[in-house]
Homo-oligomer: A and B are copies of this chain.
């Protein structure tokens, strides 16, 4: 079983790295891109014996406590059977 965790900056937090990417894209001709936000992406491989709801609980805890800085970031996740 795999869990995909997506960590992004809260929308209220400035993202200079994403802004830089957007500027670069505009300069090389991709003017249709109105904004870029960069985040982090984690793929967790989970032990096979884990039940789905147990996995969800674990992943949510890991994402909240370890992978995300709650002051400036938020997360979402997806469990893949």
Chain A interface residues toward B at CB < 8 A = 6-8, 18, 21, 24-25, 28, 30-47, 50, 58, 62, 66-67
Which residues of B sit under 8 angstroms from A62, Cβ to Cβ? 25, 30, 33
Taking A8-B41, A36-B43, A40-B40 as given, write out 5 further A-B residue pairs in contact, using a Cβ cutoff of 8 Å, ordered by the A residue number: A25-B66, A30-B58, A33-B58, A33-B62, A34-B47
How many monomers of this protein are in the complex?
2
From the candidates B8, B43, B46, B67, name the one contacting A32 in the complex (CB within 8 A).
B46
Q: Tell me if B38 and A44 are in contact (CB < 8 A).
A: no
Which residues of B sit under 8 angstroms from A50, Cβ to Cβ? 32
Given known A58-B30, A62-B25, contact A7–B41 (CB-CB < 8 A): yes
